[in-house]
Amino acid sequence: MRIAFLTAPEGVEEIELTEPWKAVARAGWNPRLVSTEAGRVQAYDHLDKAGTFAVDHVLAGDTSDAFDALVLPGGVANPDALRMDERAVGFARSFFEAGKPVAAICHAPWTLVEADVLRGRTLTSWPSLATDIRNAGGTWVDEQVHVCDATPATLVTSRKPDDLEAFCAAFVKEFAAHRS
């Protein structure tokens, strides 16, 4: 399985990228770093610069066709930048339209708010997104991890880095269940 990890060029929370990436690799799947710019993505440890990661694929009007599932890592700046880029928003939306599973942690659901795919869904996130999620037609819950099997695509969400172990286990299970 090819799993897209969508990030902005700067601002992704490093641990929310690296731990899910490792979970995908342990499952024997192919993680691919997708971004809006070529080169390297600058990750952060909260507000401090951390590592950089090579971009595998640059968005240019892409859809989910080349991928089996999508992971949206958080960080505050990362999803805030992505939701302002129509290529990123359209890319995320295309997974829902194709019925492919999506996993999002922390602030990452901001991109999904902009993609208008949360109506009728229940999800969790960093608590400050609760109003945005409700305004987008979703139901926000304060849970370590939440799996929403609403049609057409499964959405796995989690609140924060402390929830990464449960988040990774949940999305790997759901992605495996949707394997083509």
pLDDT at residue 180, rounded to an integer: 54
The tens digit of pLDDT for each residue in 32-49 reads 999 999 999 999 999 999
Give dist(CA 152, CA 145) in Å, integer.
20
Instruction: Find out whether 19 and 84 touch, Cβ atoms under 8 Å.
Output: no
DSSP string, 78-142: HHHHHTT-HHHHHHHHHHHHTT--EEEETTTHHHHHHHT--TT-EE---GGGHHHHHHTT-EE--
Q: 151 pLDDT band (50/70/90 cuts)? A: confident
Segment 162-174, tens digit of pLDDT: 999 999 999 999 9
* Span 27-32, average pLDDT: 98
pTM of the model: 0.97
Q: Say what the pLDDT of residue 152 is.
A: 87
- Name the CATH superfamily housing domain 2-177: Class I glutamine amidotransferase (GATase) domain (3.40.50.880)
Known catalytic residues are: 106-107
**Rounded to an integer, what distance in angstroms lies between the CA atom of residue 146 and that of residue 159?**
9
Q: What six digits make up the tokens of 88?
A: 């990123």
DSSP for 131-143, written as a single string: HHHHHTT-EE---
The confidence score (pLDDT) of residue 179 equals: 78
